[in-house]
Amino acid sequence: DDEPEREPRSMRWLVGGLLAVVLIAGLVFAVTNLGSLFKSGPEANPSPNSAVTTGPNTGTPTQNQSSAPPAAPPVIENITRQGDFDFAATYDVDLVKAFDGNAASYWSDMEFATEGWGGLAKDGVPLFVKLKSPSTVSSITLTQLGASGGNISVFTNDRPSLDGAKLVGTNSFTSTDLTMPLAEPVQAQYVIVSIKTLPKLAAPKTRYGYGIRLAEIKVQ
State pLDDT tens for residues 28-72.
666 566 555 555 544 545 454 544 455 555 555 555 555 666 678
Distance CA 179, CA 43 (A): 73
Non-local (6+) Cβ contacts of 96 within 8 A are 78, 79
Question: Are 173 and 205 contained in the same domain?
Answer: yes
Question: Are 144 and 171 contained in the same domain?
Answer: yes
Distance CA 180, CA 170 (A): 8
Query: Which pLDDT tens digit goes with each residue over 93-137?
Result: 999 999 999 999 999 999 999 999 999 999 999 999 999 999 999
Determine how β-strand 125-144 pairs with β-strand 76-81: antiparallel
**In angstroms, what CA-CA distances link 62 with 161, 168, 216?**
45, 40, 42
Question: Are 27 and 125 contained in the same domain?
Answer: no
Q: Where does a domain end: 66, 92, 116?
A: 66
Q: Identify the domain containing residue 18 by its residue range.
A: 3-66
The model's pTM is 0.70
